[in-house]
Amino acid sequence: MTSRMPSISKDIVERINLVVGNAPRPVPLHAPEFNGSEWEKVKDCLDTGWVSSVGRYVDEFEYKVAESCGTKFGVALVNGTAALQMALQVVGVKPGDEVLVPSLSFVATANAVVHLGAKPHFIDIDPDTLGLSPTALEEHLRQNCRAQNSALINKATGARISAVVPMHVFGHPASMRKIWQVAEEFGLHIVEDAAEALGSEYFGSPCGSLGHVAALSFNGNKTLTTGGGGAIVTNDATLATRAKHLSTTAKLPHQWEFVHDEVGYNFRMPNLNAALGCAQLEQLPERLLQKRALADKYFEAFKDLEDIEMFQEPANCKSNFWLNTLVLKTPDLEVRDDILRATNAAGLQCRPVWRALHTLEFFKSNPRSKLPATESFEKRLINVPSSAWLGAA
Ligand SMILES: *Cc1c(COP(=O)(O)O)cnc(C)c1O
C-alpha cells in the first residue's frame, strides 16, 4: 500500500488539474462570486442610509429566500449558527433537553444546541447520503429511550429528547422520508440544517422545505453569500413570527415605546448584507447549472479509479454540489493526508471532512448511538475545489 501512495496522489493532482484547467493557482476550495447587481444594491444602501437591521432589502431577501426554498416564510438572520439556534428555540427545545444531531457535521450544528442550554446527542450517518441515518436513529431510540407523558426520555440520562437535526452534507439531501417516519413515531420536531443545501432537491421538493423549520447559511464559503448571514425558512406562520420577534429583541411594536415581552436576541440581518443577498439570489439558477457541470467534469475525470471515487448525489435527489467530494474506498489516514499534502502543494485547495463531533474534547462525554459509518467516513472524505465558475462553459 505504502509504495503506491505517491503514485495515487500524483494521479489525483493530475486529474484535478484536468478539471480546473488554467484557473489561477492556488485554486480555492470555494470562493464567493459577485456577477450581478451587488454593487448597485449595496450602493443604494449607502446612498439612502439604510444600512442596518431594517430596510427594503431585508424584506425582499426574506421573501426571495422563502421562494427559493418553496416555503411560505423566511426570516433573515446574522448567520447560520444563530438561525439554527432560533429554529431550535421556536420548535420548543428547552435547556436540559437533548437534541439528536449527526456526528459528521460542521461544529455549528452542535454548538447551536449548546447555546440553548441543551445537549447534542450524536447519531450515525448513512453511507448513501453522508447525512443522518434513519435506521441508526430508529434502532438507537428503540433501544435507549422510553415514552413518558408524551415526551421521549433518554433512559440513561433521564433527559427529554425534543428534536432531531438532519444536515444535508455538502448539499446532498439526507433521507428525509424515513427520518420523518421515525420523527413522527417518536414525537420529535425536525430542524433541517440546510446551511449547505440551498437549491438542492429531494423528490422534487427543495431542501429547506423538508422539516418543521430549516436553517440556511450565507457565509462567504457557501453557494451564495451575504458576507455573513443566515435565515430561517418554514411554512409555519407561528414559528416564523416567533423567530422574527425573538431575533429582534422581542420588542413589541409601538411607535416610540421600548417594551419587550421576553429576553430576545439581536440576530437580525443588516440591510447591507441583505442587499448583497438579493443580488446573489438572482444568480442561483445559473450557479446551480455551473456547479452541476463542474460535478460532471469531476465524475468524468475520476470515473475509472480503483481506490477512490467521487461522491454521487443520492437517488431521487438533485444536489447543489456545494462541495465535490472524493471518497477513499478504505479508511486510511496516511493515504488521505498524502493526497491532501500533494494537492495543496500543487495549488489545489483540498480539505478533509470535519473531525467527527463526538471526538472533540468538549463533546467527548455526550450521549451517542453506535457510530461505525461516521468513524469510517471521517477518514475517507476529501473536498476538492468547487467554485461554480470552474464549471462555466
Ligand atoms: C456553514 C454551516 C453552518 C453555520 O453557518 P454560519 O453562517 O457559518 O454560522 C451550520 N451548519 C452547517 C452544516 C454549515 O455548513
Q: Is residue 3 over pLDDT 90?
A: no
User: In this predicted model, what pLDDT tens digit does every residue of 120-172 receive, in sequence order?
Assistant: 999 999 999 999 999 999 999 999 999 998 899 999 999 999 999 999 999 99
386 close to 322: Cβ distance less than 8 angstroms? yes
Q: Which pLDDT score is estimated for 4?
A: 52
Q: How far is the CA of 392 from the centre of ligand 1 (A)?
A: 26
User: How confident is the model over 9-28, as a mean pLDDT?
Assistant: 97
Please tell me the distance from the alpha carbon of residue 85 to that of residue 384, in angstroms, as a whole number. 30
The C-alpha cell that represents 338 in the structure block: 498524502
pLDDT averaged over every residue in the chain: 97
User: In this predicted model, what pLDDT tens digit does every residue of 95-112 receive, in sequence order?
Assistant: 999 999 999 999 999 999
Cβ neighbours of 21 (radius 10 Å): 9
- Stretch (H or E) spanning 10: helix 5-20
| 81 Cβ below 6 A of ligand 1 | yes
Q: How far is the CA of 305 from the centre of ligand 1 (A)?
A: 32
Residues in contact with 219: Cβ distance below 8 Å, sequence separation at least 6, in sequence order: 79, 80, 195, 225, 228, 229, 230
| 106 Cβ below 6 A of ligand 1 | yes
What confidence category does residue 1 fall into, taking pLDDT thresholds of 50, 70 and 90?
Answer: very low
pTM: 0.97
Tell me, yes or no, if the two domains 2-32+284-391 and 38-281 fold the same way. no
Please tell me the distance from the alpha carbon of residue 288 to that of residue 390, in angstroms, as a whole number. 12
| 97 Cβ below 6 A of ligand 1 | no
Ligand 1 pocket mutation pick from 114, 196, 269 by most atoms within 8 angstroms of CB: 196
Q: Is residue 313 over pLDDT 90?
A: yes
Q: How far is the CA of 18 from the centre of ligand 1 (A)?
A: 30
| 80 Cβ below 6 A of ligand 1 | yes
Domains of the chain: which residue ranges? 2-32+284-391, 38-281
Ligand 1 pocket mutation pick from 85, 104, 109 by most atoms within 8 angstroms of CB: 109
User: In this predicted model, what pLDDT tens digit does every residue of 166-178 receive, in sequence order?
Assistant: 999 999 999 999 9
| 131 Cβ below 6 A of ligand 1 | no
CATH no. for 2-32+284-391: 3.90.1150.10
| 230 Cβ below 6 A of ligand 1 | yes
Which of helix, strand or coil describes residue 393? coil
| 171 Cβ below 6 A of ligand 1 | no
- Give domain 38-281's CATH architecture: 3-Layer(aba) Sandwich (3.40)
Please tell me the distance from the alpha carbon of residue 376 to that of residue 121, in angstroms, as a whole number. 19
